[in-house]
Copies of this chain bind each other. A is one copy, B any other.
């Protein structure tokens, strides 16, 4: 039994971590910290936990909290953890950070896309990028885990085997991604009101979305060179779900069979990645509430391209679920523990 704490417990990702951990047999939640809701009953904020959690939100006093647990999840805004974390704290407990602070190895790239000065660049090197299926070995020993973003988890997992095996030209990648609204967070913003978002769709962050360099860095590792992609996210009127449609030019000799083999090679034994194969199209609802990523594809011989489609639940595999999966790897639990929920339809 390990002790865990959550900072930023009142955001949607924090709430989801709590939900998943309550179903985990090996953890004890020690604190739920929140800047905005300090002192309030957690179940007054999230009525789903009524009678299930009897804790008040505590203050996010990092040093003190770090003494009391084995691992802290930080579901906090960009710049928070990098502003307060230090070697001394890292010696006390391990961290799973759901922000982007330690995802990108090149500080200049981080600061350019996020427009934030990085306050603890000396810790970036040791941070492990927590794409569970790709970096499992490194994750096991991590003290500081940088949990991937929702768009990035989906976009990278969907393209990784093809980029790694040279079946597509990575620089030809055009990624169009769709996100449910929970990805926009729980802040009180007019733009996220029901009456602004429902019955509409819009692109956003066009050519400038901050998940772009994260995708490029990881897919760059897959093929061993720097690459550049087009990434265009959109907001659509549903709660949960990421859907990435990726179109890329096939390289000479690439076929549907070879693509299937590449997926099989990398993910054939992965429980949380379900390969639909050529022609079967994923639907976001079939992953909702679960830690699955569903991937399908279709070769378009007419134009010499392939269309890859990946989908996942942005709050589970795209945030809290992968964070718990990474915790399982870090602490030697069964990787599925706490993550056995079957997608809920409808």
Residues of A within 8 A of B (CB): 12, 15, 19, 22-23, 46-52, 171, 174, 176, 178, 180-182, 184, 186-190, 192-204, 206-207, 228-230, 232, 234, 236-241, 243, 245, 247, 274, 276, 281-290, 294, 298-300, 302-303, 305, 307, 309, 311, 340-346
Q: Are B189 and A188 in contact (CB under 8 A)?
A: yes
B298 touches A206 (CB 8 A): yes
Known: A188-B188, A193-B193, A200-B241. 11 other contacts (CB 8 A): A19-B342, A48-B285, A48-B287, A186-B190, A198-B237, A198-B346, A202-B243, A203-B307, A206-B281, A228-B302, A232-B307
Nearest B-chain residue to A276, judged by Cβ: B50
The answer on a CB contact under 8 Å between B181 and A194 is yes
Q: When the two chains form their complex, are residues A245 and B274 in contact, meaning their CB atoms are under 8 A apart?
A: no
Q: How far is the CA of A241 from the CA of B237 in the complex (A)?
A: 12
* Known A193-B192, A289-B344, A342-B49: A199·B238 in contact at CB below 8 Å: yes
Question: Could you pull out 27 A-B pairs where Cβ atoms are within 8 angstroms?
Answer: A19-B342, A47-B286, A47-B294, A47-B345, A48-B285, A48-B286, A176-B232, A176-B245, A178-B234, A180-B199, A181-B193, A186-B193, A186-B196, A194-B194, A194-B196, A198-B237, A199-B241, A200-B238, A201-B238, A203-B243, A228-B302, A232-B245, A232-B307, A234-B245, A240-B346, A289-B289, A344-B344
Residue of B nearest to A206 (CB): B298
With a cutoff of 8 Å between Cβ atoms, the chain B residues found around residue A288 in the complex are: 48, 199-200
A18 to chain B, nearest CB (A): 9
Chain B residues, CB < 8 A from A12: 195, 346
Asked if A201 and B178 make an inter-chain contact with CB atoms under 8 angstroms apart, the answer reads: yes
Q: How far is the CA of A70 from the CA of B315 in the complex (A)?
A: 38
Interface core residue of A199, A287, A343 (most chain B CB under 10 Å)? A199
A197 touches B194 (CB 8 A): yes
A342 — which chain B residues lie within 8 A by C-beta?
19, 22-23, 48-49, 52
B189–A300 contact, CB under 8 A? no
> Are A23 and B193 in touch, CB under 8 angstroms?
no
Neighbouring B residues of A181 by C-beta, 8 Å: 193-195, 198
B230 touches A346 (CB 8 A): no
Which of chain B's residues have a CB closer than 8 A to the CB of A236?
Answer: 178, 201, 236-238
